[in-house]
Amino acid sequence: MKKILAYRFSAFGDVAMIVPVLKEFLAQNPDTEIVFVSRKNFADLFDGVERLTFRGVNLDDYKGVFGLRKLTKELNKEYNPKYVADLHDVLRSKILTILFKLRRKKTATLDKGRTEKKQLTRKENKIKKPLKPTTERYADVFRKLGFTLKLSHQLIPKSQQKSGIGFAPFAQHEGKMLPIEKSLDLVKTLSKNHPIYLFGGGKKEVEILSKWEQEVENVTSLAGKLSLKEELQKISELELMISMDSANMHLASLVGTRVVSVWGATHYFAGFLGYGQSENDIVEIKNLECRPCSVFGNKPCYRGDYACLNQIEISEILKKIE
């Protein structure tokens, strides 16, 4: 059995995108097994994946070069991998990869396509074209190691009984979120014909969604009430998830639930559409010259009006659903 050590330590949505790639890789390469190293709280993302061992780490225990040498030594002693896949390409993972290479492991590193993404998001003379999907970039790492992998880019439903609509109105950055009043209007409209389940995290989000639950009939807030494992199960049972360009889109993709995704400052051309999701289910303002202005939605709007989000009408979202 060929043993591969793979790692990525953040962010939540990016790690979630890795899971379907690993599932298909292991199915197509039955003589392999994977040890995946990441933050401990991501463990449930990998639950039930055959021939995959999840190794959670607390990164505070492995600070600096000496800490990473300690981690390399531990992982090598525990698993003795022949291959090492860096699915992160940041300073920490680069040091790990160098240390494993010194131990004569065959290594390969993610190509994030940074130059192309800068060209896509720069203020002037954007090169606006679809870039390689992030899932294919992950797959390329295993191809560099000498393995074959052909991704299906198909949703695989975890649950056959599906009902209700999930809605995750929040994202990490303002440039990715519909104005809150529009999200509430969407909930009020949808709840007339569908049971609605709200998803979010963090104290402020929990407070807002709890208030919506109290104000609107046929609405249930699950924010702050479920473990990650329970949340994945609930999402798998939904008929549909409505999400911003956020981790919730990738969680739904992981369990095979269709997503209607809303895009503002960011753009699916950068390669972050949920695995197996359809471009026909994307809601966006297409004719804005300034968009996309960011890969991650973390830059302030230089126009000052967030037209990419404020100009989206909830009727455009409803068209995708009804």
Q: Which residues neighbour 263 within 8 Å (Cβ) at sequence distance 6 or greater?
A: 176, 244, 245, 282, 283, 284, 308
Report, in angstroms and rounded to the nearest whole number, the Rg of the chain calculated over CA atoms: 20
Contact present, 133 and 208 (Cβ < 8 Å): no
| pLDDT value for 322 | 77
- Give me the pLDDT at residue 260, please: 98
Beta bridge partners of 2: 32
DSSP 300: P
261 closest CA partner among 283, 276, 280, 278: 283
| Domains along the chain with CATH numbers | 2-144 (3.40.50.2000), 165-321 (3.40.50.2000)
Q: pLDDT of the chain along its 322 residues, tens only?
A: 999 999 999 999 999 999 999 999 999 999 999 999 999 999 999 999 999 999 999 999 999 999 999 999 999 999 999 999 999 999 999 999 999 999 999 999 999 999 999 999 999 999 999 999 999 999 999 999 999 999 999 999 999 899 999 999 999 999 999 999 999 999 999 999 999 999 999 899 999 999 999 999 999 999 999 999 999 999 999 999 999 999 999 999 999 999 999 999 999 999 999 999 999 999 999 999 999 999 999 999 999 999 999 999 999 999 999 7
What pLDDT sits at residue 183?
A: 98
CA dihedral sign of residues 310, 312, 315, 320 = negative
Predicted TM-score (pTM) of the model is 0.96
Cα distance between residue 98 and residue 101, in whole Å = 5
CA 96 vs. chain centroid, Å, equals: 23
**DSSP per-residue string spanning 38-85:** EEGGGGGGGTT-TTEEEEEE-GGGG-HHHHHHHHHHHHHHHH--SEEE
Q: What is the DSSP track for 182-196?
A: HHHHHHHHHTTTS-E
DSSP string of 91-154, one letter each residue: HHHHHHHHHHHHTT-EEEE----HHHHHHHHSSSS----PPPPHHHHHHHHHHHTT--------
- Give the separation between CA 236 and CA 256, rounded to whole angstroms: 7
Q: In what order do the strands lie in the sheet with 2-7?
A: 52-57, 32-39, 2-7, 83-86, 106-109
The dihedral of CA 95, 18, 175, 113: what is its sign?
positive
- Other C-beta atoms closer than 10 Å to the C-beta of 188 total 17
The torsion of the CA quartet 85, 89, 91, 96, rounded to 10 degrees, works out to: 0
At 206, list the tokens: 């929990």
Give the whole-angstrom CA distance, residue 240 versus residue 321. Answer: 8
